[in-house]
A and B are shown apart, each in its own frame.
Chain A
Amino acid sequence: MATAEWHALQDTFYRKHRLYQMQWAGLDLSKFRIAASSFGGPIALQRDDRQLLEAGSAPLLDSSIHVYAASGHSIGTIEYEAGLHMAGFSWNSREELICVQEDGNVRVFSLSGRDPSSFSLGPEARERGIAECCFWDQGLVAMTQDFRFIYVNDIGEPKPRMLADAQLTQPPHCWTVVPPHLTLSRHVEVLVATGATILCVDAAGVQDQLLDQGPYARISVSPNGRLVALCSRQGRVQVVSTDFQRSFSECTSDETSSLLQVAWCGSDAAVLSFADKVQLVGPFGALLTFTQTLPAYLVQELDGVRIFTAEEHWFLSKVSEESKSVFQIGSTAPAALLYDAVDSMHAHSSRADEIVRSIRDEMPQAVDTCIAAAGAEPDVSVQQSLLRAASLGKSFLSVYNGDKLVDMCRSLRVVNNLASYSVGIPATLVQFHSLPLEAWISRMLNRNLHQLALRVCAFMDASADQVYVHWACTKIRASTLDDDALYRVLRERLETLPEGRSIASYVEIAEVANSCGYSRLATRLLLHEPRAANQVPLLISMNQEDAAMDAAVRSGDADLVYFVIFHLFKSQSLSDFFQTLSRTPSAARLFEKYCKEMGAPVLEDYYYQDDAFAKSARLIITENLSESDTSKLVANLKVALKMLNSDKSCALESRAVDMQIRLVQQQGEEYAGLTLNETLAKCLESGNYSRANKLKAEFKIPDKRFYYIKVHALVQRRDWVELARLANARKSPIGYRAFVDECIAALQFQEAAKYIPRCDAEDRASLFMRIGFYHEAAQAAMHTRDIEALRQIHSSATDPTLQHDIAQNIEQLSRS
């Protein structure tokens, strides 16, 4: 009966389903430290070195970590040196084992135990030593032996930091961590039971929750982060909200034996394990007790709790509504009727037909419920009968989308396969759906179940690239063949994937090949890699610099080119490095830019060996822009000039630099830093006309430029005498309009008027008009017989006699 495993707790039912008879032989779990991974993951055991043990009393007394599947068969051993005392270890969601040592070092092992990565929790941890640890999926909190807390948010990129000082002087009764995704602040918090109260510690500060019913022996935070279960030493269990403001339930068990562990079953019931029993505390303080003969270890899952002892492995979870409506005794739900109909049908009873008829309109719900119930049932035969019932019901519906049924069958098939003894991943359907398929595939691959993984991929219509890559890597690691033979084996398999595809990336395989010493194989495999960007780092680690540079340039990503450049700069001699650069111009330009921005002196050397004279000269010029020491500046510019002279295409530039050198030598303090024109203008504005003339001669300043600057300067200086002298000395090379414009801009209309008659005849009228000289404007307009101008003057002039004259003139002109 499906309900045989049900246990009622008020109006809900809990199911305690036996998953496995443990395959390990006679282990005494109490002698071990245990870490079991959620999602039906592996169990790690290490001898607890804090317990004294009788010599020769039990197997597995070495210091290594033994890894078992959930069904209890061994899937690996991680060698661990004796003497490195473990403070705590735990699995993350990628099935990596994170081991925190008492000396503050952390090591992360994959399931295979190969190539552990490691990091340190920082100097504080080293000095003080780590006492205990708490983990969440991607991070951990470690308590030092003087009761400070160090946290790491992301084990992939560890940056250990201290939480605020809770000023504990003696070990807390217990503590636990609230992972960042469950807190309000989105940062990790730690709940510490000390005295009769609980402290909430985060990076910013410590908050005392002001409780008085402690001391608490165990704290556990519910999976959704809303509730906290507090267990006191006296066996009292309280469930409160995470902010400790509201209490939801309380119960006292008469239990006095020591409490081992607390976990959550779903989000509304807490599970307590004692030496001889497991208790479930429901939402309203109701208790459900299961006696055990052996001490049990709890593993909190998304939708329940796994309980394993040395002999058996159970799964405790709430019975779903769907199961309830089908199987609850006396249920008259349509789904229950439908389920009965199947039995009747097999018994060739006409009652089947009656039942189906009685369901009628509710058939779609009945089918859906049966499908959902199948997903929630652990027993394969029950699943089958439920699916058969659904299938029967479906046949009575004219319109029903069968996808749901098909999906359920497919998912269940995978789930049941995973749960088999040989695989030992007892995940429920809910858990299966909460992770992407790739995660499950990689769990199978972690156990080297390539065949199964491949079949699952094909069955679920998913890309099997991941499987092939993992297979190839494993093959290479285990191989004893030579490069060529191995290449043939790999290509034979990888080339002929179903449907003529090829796998998306070869880089990972090539990396493994390289690390296993098959460098030739790695090179050949890398040729098949479609993404240039992926090839670069590996090519570099294989010392194939040229190929790496090519791949980087081909990728179109300047960042990769920089990556190669930096590597080469470090690893090669300067001359080799320069040669590489000269072979790849695009890289050379990036290097140039980087050096310019960093002000790296190596650029000079590069230009020098490259005979890049013009570039060297420009570099000198930019470097000396703020040089204030004249003699140094001149010396440096002379070097630049010499370089420019060696490049025939730089004639204009070398003339400019030559001029600059002479200018700097002439300027002295007074004009330092000014351009040639500014120097000239300043000379003129200060009335130093002879020096200006000298400058003109010395620097061969063209007449026109000299005139423009001089006129401007004289007007600024209001030196009208000199201006007149300039105008009269000879015919102005810039005409006289410039004189007028400058005077007008300086609002010197009288002066402007002097030069207007020397401008072009047709401009005069408008110029006079602009400075308000209407009489003269009218005369000029009359002279050029410009009626349009006269009309304008007529409208702007205010003098009535003038207006009269102009009107006459206009008449006269228009008549003629």
Chain B
Amino acid sequence: MQPLDGTVASGPKLLQLKDILRAELIAILDTIRGAKALVLDKDLSGALSAVVEFAVLKEHGVEKIFLLETGVGDAPVQGVVYLVQGQVSKLRAVASQVRALSGCEQAVQVVPRRTLLSERVLEEEGVLGDVRLGEFRLDAVPLAEDVVSLEQPGLFKALHVDGDFSGVHGVARGLMRLQGLWGFFPRLVGKGDYAQVLAQSLKRMRAEATSGAGAMSNMFDAAVILDRAADLSTPLLTQLTYEGLLSEVFGITNGAVATGENSRSRVNVRGDDAVYTAIRDAGFADVGAALSAMTQQLQTTYESRHSARTVQEIRRFVGRLSGLQAEHQSLKTHVTLAETVQKRTQTDDFAATLEIEQTLVGGDDLHTGQRAYIDRILALADPHAYVPGVSSERQAPPPAAAPNSLHKILRLLCLSALWRGSSLKQKQYDAWYDEIIAAFGHHHTITLANLARAGLLPSSTRNNDSASANGLGFLRRSLNLVVADDADDVAYAYAGYVPLLVRLVQILAQDPAVHSPASNRYAALLRPLDRTRPSREMQQPGGGIRGGWAGWEDVLSAIPGASFDETQVPPSALNRSEKALGDKPPATLVVFVGGCTSAEISALRRLSQLHGHRYVVATTEVLNGNALLDPLIQHK
């Protein structure tokens, strides 16, 4: 799969966010004069390293970086800058260190926002007067040229289990930063209750910032805001792109693959490695071929040294040498990684898991063998297993088969509950409940209650509203989610399944692929007559948000959460924008409230290629199923 070279040229340059964040960080560091220590929240290290290099920190007086967990200890310091997230536990840790270091100049920078809550915690700990309290707005970190992280990990749990909506405000601030750079999104369209809350926050912030004025973006035609709760099933499925599988097998935390052995052996998977960018979105089956092609290419380039005759030619070759060596190194790394991944994909265990997923997504009930498999992994569960994408420190290289972790089992269970809906028998559910308690401990009564609360498992008081009663079956049929042949390219990331949220974007883009041949008649019956399906050949796929939700009310009502479609364009500017329709903004922002998977990003990239239009992703975090579930799990 080719990177989107052609379209990157136009549209917003996300990487410019990096410079802004770096400048803000430097300003913060400079508030403490002279040499200083930086005490860093571990959860920020990834985002921070994406923004700034250590050398820059050093230029601004940072002599040493300590982790918040360990603290400065006995090391002699003159000044300290704390960079921490605003959780109570972390601020308490900061407070105890501030007390221990009383006497030197200290600044506490809360990320991403100095809240009243953080002030209160420090006040209760009695250190508010001793420190300079500020904030570091690390709220929009570019991960690639088309992905920006809004840095709200665990937002799904906070919203849907705790009811703590403070993260939405943070997301809104991050998006305001984007709007500050590229103008206001002319349109806010989306699905899901918290997506709507976010849209309202955005409108309110805009009103407060500009009293309703402010230039409309000519970069983005709209922001499509999608609540993770609208599609819980996709992240639970096994991702089948290269990056997705790295995340499933090794786990990607803080922008690096944890390959085991020790904490140093982490492979950076940011967008600045040409080898990686070329294969990250590829379906895993194609990765081998791509790597071998690249190896051969590299070989040929190396060989060219023999044909170098003149001094100029030799110089040209030597000049490229360091680049080639970096590429060589990167290739080597990825070949090794791909090998390990392949070992995993060839196990019975992987096949069994995948088969269960496909059975459920296909709308069928599990057969006896599949039930037996689930019984077996439940019986032989390992409560202490390494969970890729969750545990950040790990020592052992990944075992050949995925360990039977709670996460793995819950993913299958939740998938059953979501796709079977009311067809999942109460007896079966109760049996699994008991099995999980027996295998993992009684405190997972809380885990299971959390999952039920978040809508991942049926709640104990079963309500037969239409959405849950039908399961996702209705959506599968009406949105053509399962594609038998690979004709629908977007389905490649999950081998034949199209992520629901990507389909929603396609609806808005009026992509004819949404209508399946099978459901064609059915669709024609339901849609208004003038919206009959345009044939694929006739309609040139164009990108961007063209349609609205109209005509899709039945589908939307089957997805939990409100749907909305609002314009931010002031009425006076409407005529002008219509006139200027000729030059359409080159990009659409797709916002995931509660995180999205690598494979979903890959699917949107494929969509960008098909439509010739950039879909830029802004997500609160990039996660896999384990990372989605982990915050909901009651840890011992």
Name A's B-contacting residues (CB within 8 A): 159, 161, 185-187, 202-204, 504, 530-531, 533, 555-560, 562-563, 566, 585-586, 589-590, 592-594, 597-598, 614, 618, 621-622, 625-626, 649-653, 655-657, 659-660, 675-678, 699, 701-702, 704-705, 708-709, 712, 734-735, 738
CA–CA, A187 and B33, complex, Å: 7
Given contacts A556-B165, A618-B446, A618-B449, contact A594 B33 (CB under 8 A): no
Chain A CB within 10 Å, residue with most, of B30, B116, B435, B438: B438
Q: Does B300 contact A (CB under 8 A)?
A: no
Q: Is the CB of B204 within 8 A of A675?
A: no
Contacts of A699 in B (CB 8 A): 438
CA–CA, A593 and B157, complex, Å: 12
CA–CA, A650 and B78, complex, Å: 56
Q: How far is the CB of A785 from chain B (nearest CB, A)?
A: 23
Given contacts A556-B197, A652-B430, A701-B438, contact A186 B443 (CB under 8 A): no
Q: Does B433 contact A (CB under 8 A)?
A: yes
Q: Is the CB of A656 within 8 A of B166?
A: no
The 6 A-B pairs at the shortest CB distance, nearest first, are namely A589-B163, A558-B166, A708-B379, A660-B442, A597-B88, A676-B438
Q: Does B572 contact A (CB under 8 A)?
A: no
Contacts of A185 in B (CB 8 A): 33-34
Q: How far is the CB of B95 from chain A (nearest CB, A)?
A: 12
- Output the nearest chain A residue to B460 by Cβ-Cβ distance: A649
- From B34, B115, B379, contact of A562 by CB (8 A): B115
CA–CA, A614 and B87, complex, Å: 26
Q: How far is the CB of B494 from chain A (nearest CB, A)?
A: 28
Given contacts A563-B116, A709-B379, contact A657 B169 (CB under 8 A): no
Contacts of A704 in B (CB 8 A): 372, 375, 379
- Given A533-B208, A621-B446, 13 extra CB contacts under 8 A: A556-B169, A559-B166, A559-B169, A562-B117, A562-B120, A592-B162, A622-B443, A626-B636, A675-B438, A677-B381, A705-B375, A709-B379, A734-B376
Contacts of A625 in B (CB 8 A): 443, 636
- From B78, B168, B375, B440, contact of A708 by CB (8 A): B375
Q: How far is the CB of B150 from chain A (nearest CB, A)?
A: 16
Contacts of B116 in A (CB 8 A): 559-560, 562-563, 566
Cβ contacts B156-177/A at 8 Å (1 or 0 each): 0010001111101100000000
- From B163, B372, B445, contact of A653 by CB (8 A): B445
CA–CA, A625 and B431, complex, Å: 24
Contacts of B383 in A (CB 8 A): 675, 678
Q: Does B437 contact A (CB under 8 A)?
A: yes
Contacts of A593 in B (CB 8 A): 158, 162-164
CA–CA, A717 and B504, complex, Å: 54
Q: How far is the CB of A123 from chain B (nearest CB, A)?
A: 13
- From B30, B120, B460, B636, contact of A650 by CB (8 A): B460
CA–CA, A651 and B433, complex, Å: 11
Contacts of B165 in A (CB 8 A): 556, 558, 586
Interface of chain A: mostly helix, strand, loop or mixed: helix
B413-434: which have CB < 8 Å to A?
430-431, 433-434
- From A557, A626, A656, contact of B169 by CB (8 A): A557
Q: Is the CB of A186 within 8 A of B372?
A: no
Q: Does B200 contact A (CB under 8 A)?
A: yes
Q: How far is the CB of A615 from chain B (nearest CB, A)?
A: 9
- Output the nearest chain A residue to B132 by Cβ-Cβ distance: A159
Q: How far is the CB of A180 from chain B (nearest CB, A)?
A: 9
Q: How far is the CB of A3 from chain B (nearest CB, A)?
A: 48
CA–CA, A586 and B194, complex, Å: 13
- From A558, A563, A650, contact of B164 by CB (8 A): A558
Contacts of B372 in A (CB 8 A): 704, 734-735
Given contacts A556-B197, A705-B438, A735-B372, contact A586 B445 (CB under 8 A): no
Q: List 16 A-B contacts (CB under 8 A).
A: A186-B30, A186-B33, A204-B34, A556-B168, A562-B116, A563-B116, A586-B163, A593-B163, A597-B87, A652-B434, A652-B448, A656-B434, A659-B437, A677-B438, A678-B383, A705-B379
Name B's A-contacting residues (CB within 8 A): 30, 33-34, 78, 87-89, 105, 113, 115-117, 120-121, 129, 132, 158, 162-166, 168-169, 197, 200-201, 204, 207-208, 211, 372, 375-376, 378-381, 383, 430-431, 433-435, 437-443, 445-446, 448-449, 460-461, 634, 636
Q: How far is the CB of B601 from chain A (nearest CB, A)?
A: 28
Contacts of A655 in B (CB 8 A): 434
Contacts of B446 in A (CB 8 A): 618, 621-622
Chain A CB within 10 Å, residue with most, of B34, B113, B443, B461: B443
- From A555, A559, A651, A705, contact of B435 by CB (8 A): A705
Q: Is the CB of A677 within 8 A of B439?
A: yes
Q: How far is the CB of A161 from chain B (nearest CB, A)?
A: 8
Q: How far is the CB of B474 from chain A (nearest CB, A)?
A: 27
Q: Is the CB of A621 within 8 A of B33?
A: no
CA–CA, A230 and B308, complex, Å: 69
Given contacts A562-B115, A566-B116, A598-B88, contact A621 B442 (CB under 8 A): yes
Q: Is the CB of A556 within 8 A of B201?
A: yes
- From A555, A614, A657, contact of B442 by CB (8 A): A657
- Output the nearest chain B residue to A676 by Cβ-Cβ distance: B438
Contacts of A202 in B (CB 8 A): 33
- From B88, B105, B437, contact of A594 by CB (8 A): B88
- From B117, B120, B162, contact of A589 by CB (8 A): B162
CA–CA, A701 and B439, complex, Å: 11
- Output the nearest chain A residue to B87 by Cβ-Cβ distance: A597
Q: Is the CB of B208 within 8 A of A531?
A: yes
Contacts of A559 in B (CB 8 A): 113, 115-117, 166, 169
- Output the nearest chain B residue to A504 by Cβ-Cβ distance: B211
CA–CA, A675 and B446, complex, Å: 15
- Output the nearest chain A residue to B381 by Cβ-Cβ distance: A677
Contacts of B634 in A (CB 8 A): 622
Contacts of B163 in A (CB 8 A): 585-586, 589-590, 593
Q: Is the CB of A712 within 8 A of B438?
A: no
Q: Is the CB of B461 within 8 A of A649?
A: yes
Q: Is the CB of A652 within 8 A of B460?
A: yes
Q: How far is the CB of B518 from chain A (nearest CB, A)?
A: 33
CA–CA, A634 and B448, complex, Å: 22
CA–CA, A626 and B635, complex, Å: 11
Contacts of A566 in B (CB 8 A): 116, 120
Q: Is the CB of B169 within 8 A of A558?
A: yes
Contacts of A734 in B (CB 8 A): 372, 375-376
CA–CA, A505 and B607, complex, Å: 45
Given contacts A186-B30, A618-B445, contact A652 B433 (CB under 8 A): yes
Q: Is the CB of A556 within 8 A of B33?
A: no
Q: How far is the CB of B335 from chain A (nearest CB, A)?
A: 26
CA–CA, A708 and B375, complex, Å: 9
Q: Is the CB of A677 within 8 A of B379?
A: yes
Contacts of A705 in B (CB 8 A): 375, 378-379, 435, 438
Q: How far is the CB of B559 from chain A (nearest CB, A)?
A: 23
- Output the nearest chain B residue to A619 by Cβ-Cβ distance: B446
Contacts of A657 in B (CB 8 A): 442, 445
Given contacts A556-B168, A562-B116, A586-B163, contact A712 B380 (CB under 8 A): yes
CA–CA, A650 and B433, complex, Å: 12
Q: Is the CB of B437 within 8 A of A656?
A: yes
Q: How far is the CB of A778 from chain B (nearest CB, A)?
A: 22
- From A159, A618, A650, A675, contact of B441 by CB (8 A): A675
CA–CA, A597 and B121, complex, Å: 11
Chain B CB within 10 Å, residue with most, of A586, A675, A704: A675
Q: Is the CB of A621 within 8 A of B445?
A: yes
Contacts of B120 in A (CB 8 A): 562, 566
CA–CA, A630 and B431, complex, Å: 28
CA–CA, A738 and B372, complex, Å: 10
CA–CA, A593 and B154, complex, Å: 14
Q: How far is the CB of B440 from chain A (nearest CB, A)?
A: 6
Q: Is the CB of A653 within 8 A of B197?
A: no
CA–CA, A614 and B383, complex, Å: 25
Chain B CB within 10 Å, residue with most, of A557, A566, A626, A734: A557
